[in-house]
């Protein structure tokens, strides 16, 4: 029986994660969003794109959140979570303009 490889975080992943959490704790959401976006590009997971887009929304950066969700959906077209978040963001945008 062979052991499956375990994915271990890289130094750059850990650094981006720690910086993102520090910026959130300091309520510097724009900087936290930048770090979360870097983390999404490093990790390359649907969850990372969803987290980055969520922080962008909380930082009131809706357009950037939408772009992140679209990139995530392009990479993970089967992700119901990314599609749901994109739909919710679209609905909020429509409601804000009415």
The pLDDT tens digits of the residues spanning 2-21 come to 554 445 667 888 888 898 99
pLDDT (mean) for 24-37: 94
Answer whether 52's CB lies under 8 Å from 39's CB: yes
- For residue 80, the surrounding DSSP H or E stretch is helix 80-97
Sequence-separated contacts (24+) of 14-21 with Cβ below 8 Å: 16/42, 20/55
The CATH architecture that domain 15-97 belongs to is Alpha Horseshoe (1.25)
Please report, for the chain, the start and end positions of each structural domain, with discontinuous segments joined by +.
Answer: 15-97
- What pLDDT is stored for residue 16 in this prediction? 83
Phi, psi of 20 (to 5 degrees): -60, -50
pTM of the model: 0.81
pLDDT (mean) for 26-44: 93
């Amino acid at each position: 029986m062979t052991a499956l490889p375990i994915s271990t975080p890289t130094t750059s992943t850990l650094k981006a994660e720690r910086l993102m959490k520090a910026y959130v704790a300091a309520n510097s959401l724009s900087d936290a969003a930048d770090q979360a976006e870097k983390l999404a590009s490093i990790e390359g997971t649907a969850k990372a794109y969803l987290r980055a887009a969520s922080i962008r929304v909380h930082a009131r950066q809706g357009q950037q959140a939408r772009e992140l969700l679209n990139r995530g959906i392009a990479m993970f077209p089967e992700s119901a979570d990314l599609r749901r978040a994109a739909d919710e963001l679209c609905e909020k945008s429509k409601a804000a303009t009415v």
